[in-house]
Amino acid sequence: MHPAHRAATFTESVIREMTRVARTHGAINLAQGFPDFPMPEPMKDAACAAIRGDVNQYAITWGSPALRLAIAEKYRRMHDLEIDPEREITVTCGATEAMAATFLALLNPGDEVVIPEPFYENYGPDGILAGARPVFVPLEPPAWRLDPERLRRAFTPRTRALVLNSPHNPTGRVFTREEISGVASLCREHGVSVFTDDPYEYITYAGQHHPIATWPGMREHTVTISSLSKTFSITGWRIGYAVAPPEATNAIRKVHDFLTVGAPAPLQAAAAIGFAFDAEYFNLLSLDYRRRRDLLARALSDAGFRFTSPEGAYYFLADFSELSELPDTEFALWLAREIGIATVPGSSFYHDRTLGRRYVRFAFCKKTETLEAAAERLTKVRALV
């Protein structure tokens, strides 16, 4: 049997491949961004109670009422955004499905999608599956700022959407109000939609997450996508969502229905509990991650890596050119094999792979012990390289 063209045009996820490389070499997995520490107890209890209480059949396709209500309430409380849970929210299997369903529901073959680069690898295949053409706009190191002029030059009469991911994976940028205003005015001017990817919205160290849907006139042009994976350390639960105006939501719900029918019902029941946590939970999340970031930052910089300190999310995109001239994929394999640390090669975040050849990405969503063990291993890099 031959694969269809659309499946033949992209490769498997490098991030998930590096998790397998980590297992092969017994390396500490700082590649795939998932926490190795437990999730909050009250949500565990709620999930067990939901299963014992026989919440085991399909939820409503677009999400359980309690979870949609909790999501709407979150946007009202935190961002002063009124969202109708009946007509504007779709709960999905992770932000991954929400983004894919949004591409499929709202883009036609030949439409162009502007994507700041480096970018999280899913947007490429999402574009291919929808027949849309990605147009990449570089974020320049070391500041990784969104340059409004370069952005403007990427817009053409075929531009239909822009993907905005802040806090940004892999650079850790949290885009400023000014940068987001630049995106908003361009998109309003050209009638272009914004698809946001906000899974790290609660993980910030400098600046704050500002949803572009709160900008004047942007509500009607925005699909706000996020997930509970990172906020509650439940990447395996696969719960995300898309918030969009009713007409767009109808289209997204139809695609979602035929892709997956729905996200797991008992886990949706438990997920709603998380949004009821008080502000302390969310403040502590960032504080905890700041400590993890600082621990790994010291180790990386002592080892000879260069990077801009992340303002949010939980990754370092680290330049290793002072250490080695190997291309990123070979350097990442060397690090896994000889040092015992798995990373993601930088080229997997670029369409022109040579642009990423000096970088590897380290994730720090790990226990203190894991990061300390990684720091210890990193002390050997200079001697062995």
The alpha carbon of 76 is separated from its chain's Cα centroid by a whole number of angstroms, namely: 23
Least separation in angstroms between residue 189's CB and ligand GLN is 31
217: left (phi over 0), alpha (psi -120 to 50) or beta: left
Q: In the complex with ligand GLN, which residue's Cβ is closer, 159 or 165?
A: 165
Q: In the complex with ligand GLN, which residue's Cβ is closer, 15 or 248?
A: 15
Which of positions 115-144 make contact with ligand GLN (CB under 6 A)? 120
Least separation in angstroms between residue 127's CB and ligand GLN is 17
Here the tokens at position 45 are 């209890």
List all residues 6 or more positions away from 128 whose beta carbon is below 8 Å from its beta carbon. Answer: 6, 9, 10
List all residues 6 or more positions away from 88 whose beta carbon is below 8 Å from its beta carbon. Answer: 72, 243, 244, 245, 246, 249
Rule CB under 6 A: is residue 153 a binding residue for ligand GLN? no
* Interface with ligand GLN (CB under 6 A), residue from 27, 33, 103, 204: 33
Which of positions 37-96 make contact with ligand GLN (CB under 6 A)? 96
Rule CB under 6 A: is residue 16 a binding residue for ligand GLN? yes
| Distance, CA of 269 to CA of 43 (rounded, Å) | 9
Here the tokens at position 360 are 């590897």
Instruction: Count CA atoms within 13 Å of residue 15 on its CB side.
Output: 14
Rule CB under 6 A: is residue 32 a binding residue for ligand GLN? yes
Least separation in angstroms between residue 143's CB and ligand GLN is 21
* Interface with ligand GLN (CB under 6 A), residue from 15, 30, 89, 139: 15
Burial 227-264 (b: 16+ CB within 10 A, else e): bbbbbbbbbebbbbbbbbbeebbebbbbbbeeebebbb
Q: In the complex with ligand GLN, which residue's Cβ is closer, 90 or 96?
A: 96
Which of positions 200-219 make contact with ligand GLN (CB under 6 A)? none
| Distance, CA of 111 to CA of 113 (rounded, Å) | 7
Least separation in angstroms between residue 120's CB and ligand GLN is 6
Least separation in angstroms between residue 277's CB and ligand GLN is 22
Radius of gyration of the chain (CA): 20
Rule CB under 6 A: is residue 28 a binding residue for ligand GLN? no
Q: In the complex with ligand GLN, which residue's Cβ is closer, 33 or 124?
A: 33
Q: In the complex with ligand GLN, which residue's Cβ is closer, 30 or 55?
A: 30
Least separation in angstroms between residue 23's CB and ligand GLN is 14
| Distance, CA of 221 to CA of 378 (rounded, Å) | 45
Q: Is the peptide bond before 109 cis (omega within 30 degrees of 0)?
A: no
Which of positions 162-181 make contact with ligand GLN (CB under 6 A)? 169
Chain residues in the site for ligand GLN (CB under 6 A): 15-16, 32-33, 96, 120, 169
